[in-house]
Amino acid sequence: MYNFQDMASRFQPLSALDPDSLIEYLGREGHAAEAVRWKYFDSRFNRNRERGYAWVKDGKIGGFLGLVPFLVAATDRVIDAAWTCDWSVQDPTARGIGILLIRQAQEKYEFLTQLGGNDATQRIISRLSSKTVNDAGIVFHLPLRVGAMLRVARRKVPKLPVDAFGFVNRMPVRWPPRPLAAAPVIVEPGVSQVLGQLLEPAKHGDIYSRYDFEYLRWQVGDCPFLDSETCYIADGATPRAAALVWREKASTDFWRFAVWSRGDAEKELEILVSSVIRRVYEANGFLLSFVVSRLDQSLIALLRSKNFVAAPRRRPLHIIASKKTGEPVPELWPLSYLDTDYAYRF
């Protein structure tokens, strides 16, 4: 059995690791080498920020915690934070190492945050968390073609030959109307610089994620597995609402999106969401999905008005605060598919 000093001496930040060692380790967890290189070794996004911690035994990684750095804006200050991801311990002798990896990351980031995760992770994180909201994130889906329902059926009955149904897959569930906009909806390939003007959320909680353009570009635009586009209404001025829409490169079946708008741009946002729906439909998309905070009631109402349906299982939010001030930690919102590493996990 190892004492703390023995274990602590084997903790290493990701910046000190040989990339090939992490590629090998995460490869055993099912991650492609291309994904690991993009996710953890993009120097433009990393900008000298620590992207993870490993426990190394006999020269090999035995446990790892991945981090996605971002900023949390509070009333009177900005907080260094990181979403946790790819948390695992492969060495069977490494009892307690998972928690100690979290402790290592806490020395670098005041807030460690997690949205969702498997049941085992939830059990551990909930014990460490300063704030847990079990129903924080709601996933909304809009089925556009029969294939969306057939894929759900195949998950329940794996032997169901869904892919053999061809034309049935692409039969429309509904025909979304063409939205009427006073100005044309512009579509730019990739993550447009236009989004940089809208990233500060108009509605937010006492604390909220403050993402910059580099975060979006890394998360979606630079991801080797995604195709994306930016949609906004061109009215001769700075856009008042914009959407980032993406899918896997290998398929046009399943799509996701995130939106931003000015506080008084409800009409533009409604037109924009309708335009995204129509565009995905015309691209033969099966399903369009969106993540929203339970507290974002106006956005929830808009999604419901467009026939989006909430998934029964919600995503819990955990915030681990390194500084114990005695003050309650507020709920972080808004939420979206851009939180943690969900954007590419279809």
Interatomic CA distance for residues 73 and 81, integer angstroms: 10
**Token pair 């946790």 in the structure block, residue:** 84
**Segment 249-274 mean pLDDT:** 94
**Token pair 């939106």 in the structure block, residue:** 259
- The pLDDT of residue 162 is 61
- The pLDDT of residue 231 is 97
The residues facing 257 across adjacent strands are 245
- Helix (H) or strand (E) segment spanning residue 323: none
More confident residue, 178 or 82: 82
Name which of 40, 43, 37 is nearest 82 in CA terms.
40
Interatomic CA distance for residues 254 and 285, integer angstroms: 6
Q: Please check the confidence at residue 32 and state whether its pLDDT lies above 60.
A: yes
* In CATH, 4-109 is 3.40.630.30: yes
Q: Please check the confidence at residue 1 and state whether its pLDDT lies above 60.
A: no
Decide: 56 and 12 in contact? Cβ < 8 Å: yes
For the four alpha carbons of 144, 146, 149 and 155, in that order, the dihedral sign comes to negative
Give span(s): CATH 3.40.630.30, the chain. 4-109, 138-144+175-314
| Helices (H), ranges, the chain | 4-8, 19-27, 33-40, 43-46, 97-106, 119-128, 146-156, 213-216, 266-282, 297-305
Distance of CA 146 to CAs 150, 168, 224, 275, Å? 6, 7, 28, 21
More confident residue, 343 or 146: 343
Q: How confident is the model at residue 4 (pLDDT cuts 50, 70, 90)?
A: very low
Can you read off the two tokens belonging to residue 53? 């911690």
For the four alpha carbons of 56, 26, 290 and 135, in that order, the dihedral sign comes to negative
Interatomic CA distance for residues 343 and 223, integer angstroms: 9
**Segment 134-149 mean pLDDT:** 91
CATH assignment of 138-144+175-314, among 3.40.50.1820, 2.40.160.40, 3.40.630.30, 3.40.50.720? 3.40.630.30
Q: Please check the confidence at residue 131 and state whether its pLDDT lies above 50.
A: yes
